[in-house]
A and B are shown apart, each in its own frame.
Chain A
Amino acid sequence: MKGIFKILGLLFGLFLILILAVSSNSKWFNYFIDFAPNPYRYGDVFYYSSLPKYKSKLNRGKFCLYKQRANNNINLTVIGDSYFRDFDSCSFNVQNYNFIHWDNVPDTINYLNKNDINILIIETTERYSLWRLVNSNLIVEGKKHTNIDSVKVDLNSEDKLQYIVTNYEPFISLKSLKAQIYLNLFDKVDGRVSKPDIYNNVFLKEVTDTNSIYSAYYNISDTYIDNIVESLNLSDKKLKSIGFDYIYLSIVPNSVGLNKYYKKNYNYVANRIMQDKKLQMQTINTYKLFNNSDLCAYYYNDSHWNRTGQILWLTYVNEILNKKGKN
Chain B
Amino acid sequence: MLFNSLHFIVFFISFILILFSVPQILRKYWLFIASCYFYMVFKPEYLLILFSIILIDFFCGQKIEKTIRHKKIWLSISIISNLGILVFYKYFNFFGENINYFLGLFNQNNNLPILNFILPIGLSFHTFQAMSYTIEVYRGKQKSEKNILIYSLYVMYFPQLVAGPIERPQNLIHQLKSKIYFNYDNFLNGIFRMSVGFFKKVVIADRLALYTDNVFNNLNSANGLETIIATFFFSIQIYCDFSGYTDIAIGASKIIGIKLMENFNLPYFSKSIGEFWKRWHISLSSWFKDYLYIPLGGNKSGKFKIIFNIIIVFSLSGFWHGAKWNFIIWGLLHGIVLIFEKSTRLHNNLKFNKITKTILTFTFVNFAWIFFRANNLNDTLLTFKNIASIKLTDTYLLCFNNIEFIFTFLLIIGLFITEYLFNNKNVKSRLHLISLTIFFVICSYLFGEFYSKQFIYFQF
Q: Using CB atoms and an 8 Å cutoff, list the residues of chain A in contact with chain B.
A: 6-7, 9-10, 12-17, 19-20, 23, 157-158, 161-162, 165-166, 174, 177-178, 181, 185-188, 191
A191 touches B18 (CB 8 A): no
B7 touches A16 (CB 8 A): no
A191 touches B451 (CB 8 A): yes
Closest-by-CB residue of B relative to A177 is B446
In the assembled complex, the Cα of A65 lies from the Cα of B21 at a distance in Å of 59
In the assembled complex, the Cα of A191 lies from the Cα of B446 at a distance in Å of 15
In the assembled complex, the Cα of A17 lies from the Cα of B16 at a distance in Å of 12
Residue among B10, B21, B400 with the most chain A CB within 10 A? B21
A10 touches B18 (CB 8 A): yes
Residues in B whose Cβ lies below 8 Å from that of A166: 6
In the assembled complex, the Cα of A181 lies from the Cα of B20 at a distance in Å of 39
Given contacts A9-B20, A186-B400, A186-B403, contact A157 B7 (CB under 8 A): yes
Chain B: number of interface residues, binned into ranges: 20 to 34
A13 touches B17 (CB 8 A): yes
Residues in B whose Cβ lies below 8 Å from that of A17: 14, 18
B11 adjacent to chain A (CB < 8 Å): yes
Choose one: A6, A15, A188; the contact of B20 (CB below 8 Å): A6
Residues in A whose Cβ lies below 8 Å from that of B404: 185-188
B452 touches A185 (CB 8 A): no
Residues in B whose Cβ lies below 8 Å from that of A187: 401, 403-404
Residues in B whose Cβ lies below 8 Å from that of A23: 7
A191 CB to nearest B CB, Å: 6
Closest-by-CB residue of B relative to A12 is B17
Instruction: Name B382-429 residues within 8 Å CB distance of A.
Output: 400-401, 403-404, 407
A165 touches B446 (CB 8 A): no
Instruction: Name B1-52 residues within 8 Å CB distance of A.
Output: 5-7, 10-11, 13-18, 20-22
A154 CB to nearest B CB, Å: 16
A158 touches B21 (CB 8 A): no
A180 CB to nearest B CB, Å: 10
A256 CB to nearest B CB, Å: 23
Residues in B whose Cβ lies below 8 Å from that of A157: 7
Closest-by-CB residue of A relative to B403 is A185
A317 CB to nearest B CB, Å: 42
A14 touches B401 (CB 8 A): no
Residues in B whose Cβ lies below 8 Å from that of A6: 20-21
In the assembled complex, the Cα of A13 lies from the Cα of B10 at a distance in Å of 9
Residues in B whose Cβ lies below 8 Å from that of A14: 14, 18
B10 touches A10 (CB 8 A): no
Residues in B whose Cβ lies below 8 Å from that of A10: 17-18, 21-22
Starting from the known contacts A13-B21, A178-B446, A185-B407, 12 additional A-B residue pairs (CB-CB under 8 Å) come to: A10-B17, A10-B22, A12-B14, A13-B15, A13-B16, A14-B18, A157-B7, A158-B7, A174-B446, A181-B447, A186-B400, A187-B403
Residues in A whose Cβ lies below 8 Å from that of B18: 9-10, 13-14, 17
B6 touches A162 (CB 8 A): yes
Which 8 residue pairs spanning A and B have beta carbons closest together?
A: A13-B17, A16-B14, A10-B21, A13-B18, A9-B21, A186-B404, A9-B17, A6-B21
In the assembled complex, the Cα of A174 lies from the Cα of B401 at a distance in Å of 23
Residues in A whose Cβ lies below 8 Å from that of B5: 158
B445 adjacent to chain A (CB < 8 Å): yes
Chief secondary structure at chain B's binding surface: helix
A16 CB to nearest B CB, Å: 4
Residues in B whose Cβ lies below 8 Å from that of A185: 403-404, 407
Q: Using CB atoms and an 8 Å cutoff, list the residues of chain B in contact with chain A.
A: 5-7, 10-11, 13-18, 20-22, 400-401, 403-404, 407, 445-447, 451-452
Choose one: B10, B20, B400, B446; the contact of A19 (CB below 8 Å): B10
B7 touches A186 (CB 8 A): no
Residues in A whose Cβ lies below 8 Å from that of B16: 13
A178 touches B445 (CB 8 A): yes
In the assembled complex, the Cα of A188 lies from the Cα of B447 at a distance in Å of 12
A161 touches B445 (CB 8 A): no
A161 touches B20 (CB 8 A): no
Given contacts A161-B6, A186-B401, A187-B401, contact A16 B13 (CB under 8 A): yes
A231 CB to nearest B CB, Å: 34
Choose one: A9, A161, A177, A178; the contact of B7 (CB below 8 Å): A161
In the assembled complex, the Cα of A20 lies from the Cα of B400 at a distance in Å of 35
Choose one: A15, A158, A191; the contact of B6 (CB below 8 Å): A158
Given contacts A9-B17, A9-B20, A191-B451, contact A20 B11 (CB under 8 A): yes
Please list 20 pairs of residues, one from A and one from B, whose beta carbons are closer than 8 Å in the complex, sorted by A's number: A6-B21, A9-B20, A9-B21, A10-B18, A12-B17, A13-B15, A13-B16, A13-B18, A16-B10, A19-B10, A157-B7, A158-B452, A162-B6, A166-B6, A174-B445, A181-B446, A185-B407, A186-B403, A187-B401, A187-B404
A161 touches B446 (CB 8 A): no
Residues in B whose Cβ lies below 8 Å from that of A13: 13-18, 21
In the assembled complex, the Cα of A65 lies from the Cα of B379 at a distance in Å of 65
B455 CB to nearest A CB, Å: 16
Residues in A whose Cβ lies below 8 Å from that of B401: 186-187
B131 CB to nearest A CB, Å: 34
Residues in B whose Cβ lies below 8 Å from that of A20: 7, 10-11, 14
In the assembled complex, the Cα of A14 lies from the Cα of B21 at a distance in Å of 11
Residues in B whose Cβ lies below 8 Å from that of A158: 5-7, 452
Residues in B whose Cβ lies below 8 Å from that of A15: 14
B2 CB to nearest A CB, Å: 9
In the assembled complex, the Cα of A306 lies from the Cα of B144 at a distance in Å of 71
A14 CB to nearest B CB, Å: 7
A20 CB to nearest B CB, Å: 6
In the assembled complex, the Cα of A78 lies from the Cα of B434 at a distance in Å of 58
B23 CB to nearest A CB, Å: 9
Residue among B13, B16, B18, B401 with the most chain A CB within 10 A? B18
In the assembled complex, the Cα of A157 lies from the Cα of B452 at a distance in Å of 12
B17 touches A16 (CB 8 A): yes
Residues in A whose Cβ lies below 8 Å from that of B7: 20, 23, 157-158, 161
B209 CB to nearest A CB, Å: 13
Residues in A whose Cβ lies below 8 Å from that of B21: 6-7, 9-10, 13
Closest-by-CB residue of A relative to B451 is A191
Residues in A whose Cβ lies below 8 Å from that of B22: 10
Closest-by-CB residue of B relative to A20 is B10
Closest-by-CB residue of B relative to A156 is B452
In the assembled complex, the Cα of A273 lies from the Cα of B20 at a distance in Å of 62
Closest-by-CB residue of A relative to B12 is A16
B25 CB to nearest A CB, Å: 14
In the assembled complex, the Cα of A161 lies from the Cα of B6 at a distance in Å of 7
